[in-house]
Amino acid sequence: MAEPPIAERSAGGRLFRRGARRVRRTVVRRRRLFTYLAILGPGMITANAGNDAGGIATFASVGADFGYRLLWILIPITISLGIVQEMSARMGAVTGKGLADLIRERFGVRWTALVMLSLLIANGGITVSEFVGIAAATELFGVPRFVSVPLAAISIWWLVVKGTYQRVERVFLLMSLVFLGYIVSAFLARPDWGTVAAEIVRPSFSFDHFYLFTFLAIVGTTISPYMQVFVQSSVVEKGVTAEDYPRTRTDVWVGTVFAMMIAFFIVVSTAATLHQYGIRVDSAEDAARALRPLAGANAETLFAIGLFGASMLAAGVLPLATAYSISEALGFEKGVSRSFREAPIFLGTFTFLVAVGAAIAVIPNLPLIRVLLVTQVINGLLLPVTLFAILRLINDRELMGAYVNGRLYNLGAWLTTILVTALSLLFIVITLFPGLNPV
Amino acid sequence: MLYLSQVLSRPIRDLEGERVATVKDVIVRLGDDDHPPVTGLVARYRRRDFFVPRWTITELNEQGVRLNSDILDLRPFVRREGEVLLARDVLDKQLIDVDGKRVVRVNDVQIIHAAGEWRVTGADVSLQGLWRRLAPAGFLGARKPVEVIDWADVGYLATDAATVQLKSSSDKLARLHPVEIARLAEALSYHHGSEVVESLDDETAAETLEEMPSETQARILGDMDEERAADILEWMSPDEAADVLGDLPEEKAEELFGLMEHEEQAEVAELLPYEDDTAGGLMTTEFVTLPRDLSVGEALARLREMAETPNMIYYLYVVEREGSWRLLGVIALRSLILADPAVPLAEVMRTEYQTAHPDDPAKETAQRMAEYNLLALPVVDEAGDILGIITVDDAMEILIPNDWRQRLPRLFS
């Protein structure tokens, strides 16, 4: 072969020349910064999304109404939440598909319709609770809800559809960090730590309607059906595979424990500040009082900021996530960049949820905190549907291969599902027949 | 016209009209046909599945199935090579619609009886198809328009049955632009996305991979057969290939690197030492150099003769002499074409031009390219030797924010 006329790409020669200077013949791994940080995420974010308006209201009520008595629930529920979230994350990593996808592909149309309907109702309920949270937060600033809620709904709709929501999202996320203040507040309130410690490990139970109601609200706000869908989708989105799954598992568990820690401190601080004086949480002002040890007179402002941020965040993300799940399961065009003509189901679901959520939240004289609790109860009631689907999928060897549940794990998961189902049924029975008291 | 949902669970009757079983699934043979023929049924009787071959079926419609004999062969059903079960493998699964360039989910399957054969003609992806399966037959709204994708446009079927990939599917996919193939593959689960890339020929696979995030590229190539992965790497541009190798675990990267052809391997090797976020990490080694004493006419002739013309020839780099890398000037292709063919390059080249050092930060370098409106920027070391060039597409990737580049918002992160 003749010498090439132009010194075009005679890479071999060049390599030889430069070899002396800097080329290493071995393949150098170029390290990517933040690979670890990038993968640490879905579990943490999802678990803490649980501490939204409904979550704050629920745990504040728990502390105010029952003092430390219900603290013991937090440990088993942390374990249950961890197990459920971990299963969903694992399914995402192993199959690379969302929960809605899997339900559709394995169980067919009828099951999909049932699960999607319950998801729509549950998420619709939570969306209402987020707008209620917005209403409560802005009313603390003296802005009436019939002004703030429609404004919030329109701006959320606009931001999401115009695709700029992500940038605003961070602001809301930062605002919701205020709730970390409950941790400080709990310490400043000087609770009786001895009692706290004792109540954590001493289970109590009652067939009292209000007790069951609160119990179910805790379950509903902690293990919400959307969280499983959410964590699985984000694991898929992040491109986590079966091989790099262990990191995600750590992330899920750390996130779960962290989220429940915050819940714990909310209960402790409200118990120490409100229950002590027999104050019940009926409004956002009451819930804000638990921050007084930290912020004094500014407690309300601080609480309002946190509540507003958390609620705005979830009021955008939840309807969007629901619209994604439903379009995904039914196989329709999805994505906020589509027009109404291209993706009617996707944008329709999103718009519907935002509109209904806002519409219910502006109803005058709505007992805000009560509504928040009721939506969490609805969540708890619908949870078994999702849990059964998850359990069937995770133990499907054809789907999960070697990644099916272990025996002990299955025991925990089934126990959670059965207990939640039993609790839901018991609550329905007691609601329908108030006179009936099994004890 | 018949839909799969109208056949499933319907009774199978023998010659006498006696009900002998129910339809569990419809078997189709995928081959070169645009519309694959039905080759039989999976029948279910007392919790056992058995095979009903096509030649015993005389009727197949909404009422059910009619057989031409009284004798049923109760041998259990075993799937054969190239066969697809419509209910199990196709219904509710995703597929790539090459015509509409999108991923859709199959709500129902359309079957047409023509010339003595039942053939799968299309996949119903409309709401109507779902409704047909949810609501009882004859329920209101049963006659709304349906949206059916012609089976001939099915580029890929995202199913877990290993042997069923459509033979002609990669040809159909290859009709799409690599950018589109990449987008569609990413819309599927990662297993199926890899399968799509693997089904393509080496060149298309390389182009498709280049359109994906480098982590995805690394995952797909890392899971692939090593020889195949190395072949695809050879087709990729050296800078992209270097990026992928950098993202792979060290052992795997070395193995793939070792399997590459010598020439491509050498090019990639040059780029490997540079950090990702430097000008060196951004550059490619595909460019054209010309000696200064060449005339404009000769230079143009050489460009034409060049066996493998690099993509970027809008700028030509003038060096001291044949085989030298010492950069003296830059000529835009435009000036070369417009210049007098007899004049030596040294007279038409520009001696004032922008360069980057391999250790310059990538972002600054990219910004400089945007400022000076450059299509490419030469990377020059301390000795004044040209090492490579940075092309505008790679610079764009640095400059345009992440969320703008993604079509779908990253909702969950």
Mutate to test the interface with A, among B160, B412, B413 (most CBs of A within 10 A): B412
Q: Helix or strand or coil: residue B109?
A: strand
Count of A–B CB contacts within 8 Å?
157
Which residues 6+ apart lie within 8 Å of A81 measured at CB? Answer: A47, A50, A222, A223, A256, A259, A260
CB B26 within 8 A of CB B41: yes
- Alpha helices for A32-176 (secondary structure H): 35-39, 42-49, 53-66, 74-95, 99-140, 145-161, 165-176
Residue B281's closest chain A neighbor by CA?
A30
- Contact (CB, 8 A) for B10 and B21: no
Interface of B with A in 358-377 (CB under 8 A): none
pLDDT grade for B403, boundaries at 50, 70 and 90: very low
- Which residue do the tokens 């580029």 mark? B155
d(CA A66, CA A281): 11
Amino acid A155: pLDDT: 92
Residue type, A159: L
pLDDT of residue A85: 92
Integer CA distances (angstroms), A371 to A54, A132, B24, in order? 9, 8, 47
ipTM confidence score: 0.73
Q: Which residue of A has its CA nearest to B387?
A: A14
Instruction: Return mean pLDDT, chain A.
Output: 81
Chain B residues with beta carbon closer than 8 angstroms to that of A320: 411
pLDDT tens digits for range A139-180: 888 888 889 999 999 999 988 887 776 677 777 777 777 888
Range of lowest pLDDT (A43-47, A118-122, B404-408): B404-408
DSSP letter at A202?
A: -
Query: Does residue B355 surpass a pLDDT of 70?
Result: yes
Cβ partners under 8 Å of residue B171, min gap 6: none
- Cβ atoms of B367 and B284 within 8 Å: the answer is no
Nearest CA in chain A to B264: A11
pLDDT score recorded for residue A21: 26
Contacts of B198 (CB under 8 A, 6+ apart): B205, B220, B224, B228
DSSP annotation string for A328-346 = HHHT----TTS-TTT-HHH
A77-91, A401-415, A420-434, B356-370: range with lowest mean pLDDT? A420-434
CB-CB under 8 Å, A239 with B190:
yes
Exposed (0-12), middle (13-18) or buried (19+): which is A409, by Cβ within 10 Å?
Answer: middle
**pLDDT surpasses 90 at A51:** no
The percent of residues in chain A predicted with pLDDT above 90, rounded, is 19
Helix axis angle, A42-49 relative to A299-330, nearest 10°? 120
- Maximum distance among all alpha carbons in chain B? 96
Q: Does B324 touch chain A (CB under 8 A)?
A: yes
**C-alpha separations of B149 from A292, B124, B224, B251 in Å:** 63, 6, 31, 44
pLDDT at A24: 28
- In angstroms, the CA B395 to CA B366 distance is 5
Closest Cβ opposite residue B270 in set A15, A42, A398? A15
Q: What is the C-alpha separation between A155 and A160, in angstroms, rounded?
A: 8
Between residues B266 and A419, which one has the greater pLDDT?
A419
What is the three-state SS of A150-161?
A: HHHHHHHHHHHH
B288 to chain A, any CB pair closer than 8 A? The answer is yes
Q: Which of A43-47, B310-314, B362-366 shows the lowest per-residue confidence on average (mean pLDDT)?
A: A43-47
Nearest to A42 by CA among A226, A178, A176, A240: A240
What is the structure's pLDDT at B168? Answer: 56
- Among B145, B159, B130, B90, CA closest to A113: B130
Higher pLDDT, B142 or A26: B142
Neighboring chain A residues of B251 at a CB cutoff of 8 Å: none
For residue B122, the distance in angstroms to the closest alpha carbon of chain A comes to 16
Chain A residues whose CB is inside 8 A of the B290 CB are: 6
CB within 8 Å: A28 and B273:
yes
pLDDT at A38 over 60: no
Our CA-based measurement puts residue A182 at a distance from the nearest CA of chain B, in whole angstroms, of 26
Question: Does B188 have pLDDT greater than 70?
Answer: yes
Contact A321 B308 (CB under 8 A): no
Put simply, the answer to whether B275 touches A317 (Cβ < 8 Å) is: no
The three-state secondary structure class of B79 is coil
Say yes or no for a CB contact (<8 Å) between A6 and B289.
yes
Judging contacts by C-beta atoms under 8 Å, the chain B residues touching residue A92 are none
CA-nearest residue of chain A to B408?
A335
Q: What is the pairing mode between strands B94-97 and B38-45?
A: unpaired
- Predicted pLDDT of residue B309: 67
Convert the pLDDT of each residue in A55-101 to its tens digit: 888 898 899 889 899 999 999 999 999 999 999 999 999 999 889 88
Distance in Å from the first CA to the final CA of chain A: 97
Contact A50, A224 (CB under 8 A): yes
Q: Which residue has the tokens 């965040």?
A: A313
Q: Give dist(CA A371, CA A393) in Å, integer.
A: 33
Residue A318 in contact with residue A128, Cβ under 8 Å? no
Contacts of A193 (CB under 8 A, 6+ apart): none
- A-chain CB neighbours of B261 within 8 Å are none
Residue of A nearest to B309 (CA): A8
Taking only the tens place, the pLDDT of each residue in B255-280 is 888 888 888 887 877 777 787 778 88
Highest mean pLDDT among A213-222, A345-354, B286-295: A345-354
In whole angstroms, give the CA distance from residue A424 to residue A418: 10
